[in-house]
């Protein structure tokens, strides 16, 4: 595995790969890698000749009162996982490498897609996401890029951006990877105390129970949403950011459930903000 911090070195390495007709798969991450990231890397490994993984805690997608400084970082741990899963190029840029002095250009995906769900409580977040993904796509120029469905809104926003800006890249959305007790894998899970970690799977259990309600015939979004809220507030130290029931493609709110439905939640347990979702056909 080649470890690179410099943009020009990355481009040169990928230029050599493409000269041999090799296809490139890309997994952008913020590091502190876990089995969810490993699943993305494994799929990229199966489907491409060269696998690139970036590790960059992107400051432009964090708000002023969010956890940028505290976000978990462990480069040695990340590189060990990457080597185990056959990564070819590991890109660890610094902030100055990607946002040099005088940087002023940003990418925004406007409209309802970035104003719902996390967009309501994290203004500017998706501008930061769209900007860093655009920069990384220009640097890596992958044939395919891999994202986890746990961050369902991020996936939708990036898919829209790729369509609008005519990027020549296939966005591969991969299923959420869960712990044995159902908790969606996240780098932020490390923030949870032992007691909070024991409580956190209540989020996914509630989502699965809500899906069962719909499968048994409930179609009123308000009824399902109220059930989810009442269930989640029984979790110790849980505070709901949002419960949204939306069309999975447009992220527009639904009143009556039909088609491909996405139920998404954001919940703070103590100081840790967790997101989760389920997607199913009605």
What CA–CA distance (Å, rounded) separates 127 from 121? Answer: 14
Tokens of 88: 């070819």
What is the b/e burial string over 78-111, where b = at least 16 CB atoms within 10 angstroms of the residue's CB? Answer: bbebbeebebbbbbbbeeeebbeeeeeeebebee
Q: Give the CA distances from residue 117 to residues 3, 84, 127, in Å, rounded to whole numbers and listed in that order.
A: 36, 35, 15
Active-site pick, 37, 85, 125, 138: 37
What CA–CA distance (Å, rounded) separates 30 from 40? Answer: 13
Known catalytic residue: 85? no
Q: Give the CA distances from residue 168 to residues 69, 129, 157, 165, 176, in Å, rounded to whole numbers and listed in that order.
A: 34, 18, 16, 9, 25
Residues recognised as catalytic: 37
């Amino acid at each position: 595995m080649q470890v690179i911090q410099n943009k020009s070195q990355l481009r040169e390495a990928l230029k050599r790969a493409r000269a041999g007709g090799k296809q490139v798969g890309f997994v952008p991450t913020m590091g502190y890698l876990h089995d969810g990231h490993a699943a993305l890397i494994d799929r990229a490994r199966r489907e491409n000749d060269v696998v690139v993984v970036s590790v960059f805690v992107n400051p432009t997608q964090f708000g002023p009162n969010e956890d940028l400084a505290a976000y978990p970082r462990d480069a040695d741990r990340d590189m060990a996982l990457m080597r185990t899963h056959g990564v070819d190029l590991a890109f660890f840029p610094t902030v100055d490498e990607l946002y040099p002095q005088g940087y002023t250009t940003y990418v925004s995906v406007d409209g309802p897609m970035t104003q719902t769900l996390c967009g309501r409580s994290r203004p500017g977040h998706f501008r930061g996401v769209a900007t860093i993904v655009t920069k990384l796509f220009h640097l890596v120029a992958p044939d395919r890029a891999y994202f986890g469905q746990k961050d369902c809104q991020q996936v939708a926003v990036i898919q829209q951006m790729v369509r609008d800006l005519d990027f020549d890249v296939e966005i591969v959305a991969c299923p959420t990877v869960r712990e044995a007790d159902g908790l969606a894998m996240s780098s932020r899970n490390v923030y949870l105390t032992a007691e909070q970690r024991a409580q956190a799977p209540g989020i996914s259990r509630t989502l699965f129970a809500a899906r069962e309600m719909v499968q048994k015939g409930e179609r009123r979004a308000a009824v399902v949403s109220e059930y989810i809220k009442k269930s989640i507030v029984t979790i110790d130290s849980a505070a709901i950011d949002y419960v949204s029931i939306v069309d999975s493609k447009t992220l527009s709110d639904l009143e009556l459930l039909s088609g491909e439905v996405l139920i998404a939640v954001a919940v703070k347990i103590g100081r840790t903000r967790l997101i989760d979702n389920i997607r199913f056909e009605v």
